[in-house]
Chains A and B, each alone.
Chain A
């Protein structure tokens, strides 16, 4: 009954460090996406993928990289963390964007 699993749940980074947020889903969904949520800004799409090997940029892609080597996994990489990347990150998946999307529990990231 896992659904969408994100790790880590909490992380503190120093400016300039890199890290990877992991996301895995066990529903065989083709569509996966990463959002960040900041106060007053709602959910903003960072990157998304419509299947293994296919990714595209969302509204706020700068400073983040993604890859999709398998259907199950969609990691988000922060290349050189900045305080502006302090946020809550949600991974989500669905069979298609037009169907119900399921979210992970979120990853709280603080960059100091």
Chain B
């Protein structure tokens, strides 16, 4: 079983829609959580960190559920430019602390 799992999608949504992604992690000791965005043939870039209290950045809201061991990303009022792959990342403390990623969820926003 992978340490971090995501639904690969694709999620096809029209402009203006609200879409949500979940990401589950297996290690209950994980301490840091992130969402990264990756455009086609580009490197991933940080979208937002995920805090226990939840956090919002414009149209994007991230939440952490430690009890059920998942993080979520909500995108409101989707734009064409939101089309990308969204990767969740989690720190693991087995051995030295390291950062592992999920498989990514592909989002396609259509006119």
Contacts and interface: CB of A to CB of B under 8 A. Distances in A.
B17 interface: no
Contacts of A35: 101
Chain B, interface size category, equals 20 to 34
Interface residues of A, number: 26
Interface of A: 33, 35, 40-45, 48, 50, 54, 56, 58-59, 90, 92, 94, 96-98, 100-101, 103-106
A44 to B, nearest CB: 8
14 contacts: A35-B101, A40-B8, A40-B103, A41-B103, A45-B100, A58-B98, A58-B100, A59-B100, A100-B49, A101-B34, A101-B89, A104-B43, A105-B43, A106-B42
Contacts of A90: 43-44
A103 B43 contact: yes
A42 B102 contact: yes
